[in-house]
Structure 1
Amino acid sequence: MGTGHYFWVIFYFASLCSASLANNAKINFREKEKKVLDQILGAGKYDARIRPSGINGTENMPTYVYVNMFLRSISKIDDYKMEYSVQLTFREQWTDERLKFDDIQGRLKYLTLTEANRVWMPDLFFSNEKEGHFHNIIMPNVYIRIFPNGSVLYSIRISLTLACPMNLKLYPLDRQICSLRMASYGWTTNDLVFLWKEGDPVQVVKNLHLPRFTLEKFLTDYCNSKTNTGEYSCLKVDLLFKREFSYYLIQIYIPCCMLVIVSWVSFWLDQGAVPARVSLGVTTLLTMATQTSGINASLPPVSYTKAIDVWTGVCLTFVFGALLEFALVNYASRSDMHKENMKKKRRDLEQASLDAASDLLDTDSNATFAMKPLVRHPGDPMALEKLRQCEVHMQAPKRPNCCKTWLSKFPTRSKRIDVISRITFPLVFALFNLVYWSTYLFREEEDETF
């Protein structure tokens, strides 16, 4: 056998030996990890019912628990039920002196447990929670890490449905503040205190997508509460949501404007087109009422007036006013027709009287009548007075009224009402839009108290 062959045989046996030693080292390391767990959590050595001591093992100090979280998603914000759903990774960290262990010269960084009942846990609960559940696919999404210095890190993934009282006065131009509150259920501040972890206690997933809302910002704060049984530590996160207005502009505001404008078409139809004008007015009125009821169906019944109520109410009033305008035009048209008939009858009677008088003159041509002069002589004082008045009127003529002059082009009152409505309705609606948008947009900025 050559020298090279002996070299490869020796190398092969050395590799086998090193692998065997590595496996033995791993086995020994796992054995040591098991021994550490048995030492700190063995039967009769650790009682999970006992609260850990305070800082530096002081018994009369409370246990400080540092909290932080990662918001994974916000699935919905329900205006009707006034609630929102969120999925988050929730973490708590505290120090338990009883769980200190030897790190084997830095090789054992931490111990990992998946059973929360093995160690003492803070009795934290979400005070504004309606529903909630843990995630157990494929395994329970929870772990506990115990560090050599006795520090304990608890992490769990949960989904919550939380109450969010809303003020809908500016809906849909509003901003809503939804809170997430966490408090101790049984331990008072003398025994347990929750604190936000320094640095970045609340993290939000990038590209968070919300239907009809945008998460503008969030703020962490404290909300300790006092009851008859003592003072309890409390933490809260305030989330500021801004409602996306583009959805409501397309679905509500523009359709309402179109319905109002369509109702004005009746002003341009002929007065005699009664079926067309009535059907147009009734159709737009019913459509506007259906639109209003559909909007209110998606919102809770509240005791105050919302911005959307003002908009739909005024639009409904304009549509109803257009229908009433036709009723007024129809009444004026019949009144004009009645006056025209009366004038025609009066003219017929006058013509008949003139014809009768002419016949009478023809039959009695020999009769003489003493008639007064129709025009007075130039020297007559009454004639001179009338001449002076005419000169005064000619010297100071009255300025013609433009509106009256323009309206005089339309001989009937019904036509004048239609013409006035063509101008008045759009002007008043434009003025309402100016007041509405300026009022609620400025109030939105003033009411932002976050």
Structure 2
Amino acid sequence: MGTGHYFWAIFYFTSLCSASLANNAKINFREKEKKVLDQILGAGKYDARIRPSGINGTDGPAIVRINLFVRSIMTISDIKMEYSVQLTFREQWTDERLKFDDIQGRLKYLTLTEANRVWMPDLFFSNEKEGHFHNIIMPNVYIRIFPNGSVLYSIRISLTLACPMNLKLYPLDRQICSLRMASYGWTTNDLVFLWKEGDPVQVVKNLHLPRFTLEKFLTDYCNSKTNTGEYSCLKVDLLFKREFSYYLIQIYIPCCMLVIVSWVSFWLDQGAVPARVSLGVTTLLTMATQTSGINASLPPVSYTKAIDVWTGVCLTFVFGALLEFALVNYASRSDMHKENMKKKRRDLEQASLDAASDLLDTDSNATFAMKPLVRHPGDPLALEKLRQCEVHMQPPKRPSCCKTWLSKFPTRSKRIDVISRITFPLVFALFNLVYWSTYLFREEEDETVLPLL
């Protein structure tokens, strides 16, 4: 056998030995982890019922630092006034009873999956309605114990939280939904929650909400005092802005179109009664259905919302267009009645003139009395002549532009239609100006107040 064969045989044998030693080292290393766990968590060595000591082993309260990672926000319900969120919740504290030897830096931390093996803070979410853990495929929870006794607890949970809303500016509103965490049994003398320094709350970058936008979030403290003591509390306020484009397309523009369609009846002939009545009733019913559909998606509240003002005024305009036709119909019948009376009066005058002419023809031989050349001052005919002269001497009044323009339409019913063609659009445009300037200005005021909260 040559020298080369001896070299490769020795190399192969050395490799097998090193691999075997490495495997034994790994096995021994995992055995050391087990021994460390048994050493710090063995029976009679650690009691999970006793809370950790304070800072530097003092008898002060245990300090627990909180960190949140918001994975998703599923729904924000206006009717139930709640929102659903999925987050990774982390707690970190120091328990000096859990210190261990890190084997010259090789043992960075120990991992547990059973929370009942160590002491846990009694934190709860005070505004929670529903919640559940995630157990697919395995429970999404871990506990890491570091050599200096620091404990990191991380869990993925889904929560449905209460979110009281003020809908006065709906749908031009902003809502603040809070997430509150507090201690249930330990007072501040024994347990204090603090936000983790740096960046205590993180939000996933591609967070997408169907009708809201998460503008910002603020962290704060909300300690509460009861007759049993003061309890530590943390909160994070999520500021949501409602997306207005959806409501502009689904509510505001259709309402404007219905109001404008109701004005078409002003341009129809007065005699087209079925067309004008059907148009007014149809737009009124459609507007009422639109209003009821909007209110069905909102909770019944005791105050007036911005959308209530809009739908109420639009409904009033549509109803006003229907009443305008009723007024036009009444004025048209009144005009016809006056026209008939004038016609009858003209017929009577013509008949009286014909009778007088016949009487003059038959009495042509009668004598006529001579009229006096000079009349007395109290004579009625002289006074009438004097009044006529005074009237002719007065300067003629200049007619106004409106009267001149309205004189082109002889009937009152036609005048009502013409006036409505101008009045309704002008009043509706004025309402839009006041509405948008008022609510947009109030929205800006709310933006300046929110940071103070």
TM (normalized to structure 1)? 0.96
Residue equivalent to 2:183 = 184
Distance in structure 2 (CA, Å) of the matches to 1:399 and 1:437: 41
Please give the per-residue CA displacement for 1:215-237, whole angstroms capped at 9, x wherever unaligned. Answer: 00000000000001000000000
Say yes or no: does 1:107 pair with 2:73.
no
Residue equivalent to 2:409 = 410
**SS of equivalent residue, structure 2 residue 447:** coil
- Following TM superposition, by how much is the alpha carbon of 1:89 offset from its aligned partner in structure 2, in angstroms? 0.1
- The structure-2 alpha-carbon separation of the partners of 1:29 and 1:191, relative to structure 1 and needing over 3 Å to count, comes to same
Distance in structure 1 (CA, Å) of the matches to 2:115 and 2:400: 90
- The structure-2 alpha-carbon separation of the partners of 1:429 and 1:116, relative to structure 1 and needing over 3 Å to count, comes to same
- Following TM superposition, by how much is the alpha carbon of 1:56 offset from its aligned partner in structure 2, in angstroms? 1.0
Distance in structure 2 (CA, Å) of the matches to 1:445 and 1:256: 25
- The structure-2 alpha-carbon separation of the partners of 1:301 and 1:373, relative to structure 1 and needing over 3 Å to count, comes to farther
Distance in structure 1 (CA, Å) of the matches to 2:317 and 2:126: 47
- Following TM superposition, by how much is the alpha carbon of 1:362 offset from its aligned partner in structure 2, in angstroms? 1.0
Distance in structure 2 (CA, Å) of the matches to 1:314 and 1:359: 66
- The structure-2 alpha-carbon separation of the partners of 1:90 and 1:379, relative to structure 1 and needing over 3 Å to count, comes to closer
- Following TM superposition, by how much is the alpha carbon of 1:369 offset from its aligned partner in structure 2, in angstroms? 2.7
Structure 2: state its 5+ residue gaps: none
Deviates more, 1:125-134 or 1:392-401: 392-401
Distance in structure 2 (CA, Å) of the matches to 1:364 and 1:175: 97
- The structure-2 alpha-carbon separation of the partners of 1:102 and 1:371, relative to structure 1 and needing over 3 Å to count, comes to farther
Please give the per-residue CA displacement for 1:190-228, whole angstroms capped at 9, x wherever unaligned. Answer: 000000000000000002100100000000000000001
- The structure-2 alpha-carbon separation of the partners of 1:342 and 1:388, relative to structure 1 and needing over 3 Å to count, comes to closer
Please give the per-residue CA displacement for 1:306-337, whole angstroms capped at 9, x wherever unaligned. Answer: 00000000000000000000000000000000
Distance in structure 2 (CA, Å) of the matches to 1:183 and 1:273: 71
Distance in structure 2 (CA, Å) of the matches to 1:371 and 1:351: 28
Please give the per-residue CA displacement for 1:338-395, whole angstroms capped at 9, x wherever unaligned. Answer: 0000000000000000011111111111112336489999999998997898699668
Residue equivalent to 2:237 = 238
- Following TM superposition, by how much is the alpha carbon of 1:396 offset from its aligned partner in structure 2, in angstroms? 3.8
**SS of equivalent residue, structure 1 residue 43:** coil
Distance in structure 1 (CA, Å) of the matches to 2:257 and 2:191: 61
TM (normalized to structure 2)? 0.95
Please give the per-residue CA displacement for 1:19-49, whole angstroms capped at 9, x wherever unaligned. Answer: 0000010011001100000000001110101
- Following TM superposition, by how much is the alpha carbon of 1:174 offset from its aligned partner in structure 2, in angstroms? 0.2
Distance in structure 2 (CA, Å) of the matches to 1:328 and 1:275: 15
Say yes or no: does 1:345 pair with 2:347.
no
- The structure-2 alpha-carbon separation of the partners of 1:379 and 1:350, relative to structure 1 and needing over 3 Å to count, comes to closer
Deviates more, 1:387-396 or 1:365-374: 387-396
**SS of equivalent residue, structure 1 residue 392:** helix
Distance in structure 1 (CA, Å) of the matches to 2:387 and 2:352: 36
- The structure-2 alpha-carbon separation of the partners of 1:82 and 1:374, relative to structure 1 and needing over 3 Å to count, comes to farther
Distance in structure 1 (CA, Å) of the matches to 2:384 and 2:300: 77
**SS of equivalent residue, structure 2 residue 367:** coil
Deviates more, 1:363-372 or 1:272-281: 363-372
- Following TM superposition, by how much is the alpha carbon of 1:248 offset from its aligned partner in structure 2, in angstroms? 0.1
- The structure-2 alpha-carbon separation of the partners of 1:376 and 1:429, relative to structure 1 and needing over 3 Å to count, comes to farther
Distance in structure 2 (CA, Å) of the matches to 1:296 and 1:444: 22
Distance in structure 2 (CA, Å) of the matches to 1:80 and 1:375: 95
- The structure-2 alpha-carbon separation of the partners of 1:232 and 1:378, relative to structure 1 and needing over 3 Å to count, comes to closer
Residue equivalent to 2:299 = 300
Distance in structure 1 (CA, Å) of the matches to 2:378 and 2:188: 117
- The structure-2 alpha-carbon separation of the partners of 1:98 and 1:393, relative to structure 1 and needing over 3 Å to count, comes to farther
- The structure-2 alpha-carbon separation of the partners of 1:42 and 1:335, relative to structure 1 and needing over 3 Å to count, comes to same
**SS of equivalent residue, structure 1 residue 448:** helix
Distance in structure 2 (CA, Å) of the matches to 1:49 and 1:252: 58
Please give the per-residue CA displacement for 1:91-148, whole angstroms capped at 9, x wherever unaligned. Answer: 0000001000000000000000000010000000000000000000000000000000
Residue equivalent to 2:374 = 375
Say yes or no: does 1:422 pair with 2:421.
yes
Distance in structure 1 (CA, Å) of the matches to 2:255 and 2:380: 71
Please give the per-residue CA displacement for 1:398-427, whole angstroms capped at 9, x wherever unaligned. Answer: 222100000000000000000000000000
Distance in structure 1 (CA, Å) of the matches to 2:177 and 2:372: 97
- Following TM superposition, by how much is the alpha carbon of 1:5 offset from its aligned partner in structure 2, in angstroms? 1.0
- Following TM superposition, by how much is the alpha carbon of 1:81 offset from its aligned partner in structure 2, in angstroms? 0.3
- The structure-2 alpha-carbon separation of the partners of 1:313 and 1:163, relative to structure 1 and needing over 3 Å to count, comes to same
- The structure-2 alpha-carbon separation of the partners of 1:374 and 1:139, relative to structure 1 and needing over 3 Å to count, comes to farther
Deviates more, 1:324-333 or 1:375-384: 375-384
- The structure-2 alpha-carbon separation of the partners of 1:374 and 1:252, relative to structure 1 and needing over 3 Å to count, comes to farther
- The structure-2 alpha-carbon separation of the partners of 1:136 and 1:364, relative to structure 1 and needing over 3 Å to count, comes to same
**SS of equivalent residue, structure 1 residue 35:** helix
Report the identity percentage: 96
Distance in structure 2 (CA, Å) of the matches to 1:399 and 1:231: 84
- Following TM superposition, by how much is the alpha carbon of 1:290 offset from its aligned partner in structure 2, in angstroms? 0.2
- The structure-2 alpha-carbon separation of the partners of 1:174 and 1:375, relative to structure 1 and needing over 3 Å to count, comes to farther
Residue equivalent to 2:27 = 27
- Following TM superposition, by how much is the alpha carbon of 1:52 offset from its aligned partner in structure 2, in angstroms? 0.5
Distance in structure 1 (CA, Å) of the matches to 2:153 and 2:351: 112
- The structure-2 alpha-carbon separation of the partners of 1:3 and 1:441, relative to structure 1 and needing over 3 Å to count, comes to same
Computed over aligned residues only, the root mean square deviation of the Cα atoms, in angstroms, reads 2.3
**SS of equivalent residue, structure 1 residue 447:** helix
- The structure-2 alpha-carbon separation of the partners of 1:361 and 1:375, relative to structure 1 and needing over 3 Å to count, comes to farther
Distance in structure 1 (CA, Å) of the matches to 2:100 and 2:145: 9
- The structure-2 alpha-carbon separation of the partners of 1:164 and 1:379, relative to structure 1 and needing over 3 Å to count, comes to closer
Distance in structure 1 (CA, Å) of the matches to 2:367 and 2:261: 71
Distance in structure 2 (CA, Å) of the matches to 1:208 and 1:278: 51
- The structure-2 alpha-carbon separation of the partners of 1:379 and 1:233, relative to structure 1 and needing over 3 Å to count, comes to closer
Distance in structure 2 (CA, Å) of the matches to 1:224 and 1:358: 109
Distance in structure 2 (CA, Å) of the matches to 1:401 and 1:382: 35
- The structure-2 alpha-carbon separation of the partners of 1:371 and 1:259, relative to structure 1 and needing over 3 Å to count, comes to farther
Distance in structure 2 (CA, Å) of the matches to 1:142 and 1:375: 126
- Following TM superposition, by how much is the alpha carbon of 1:262 offset from its aligned partner in structure 2, in angstroms? 0.2
**SS of equivalent residue, structure 2 residue 288:** helix
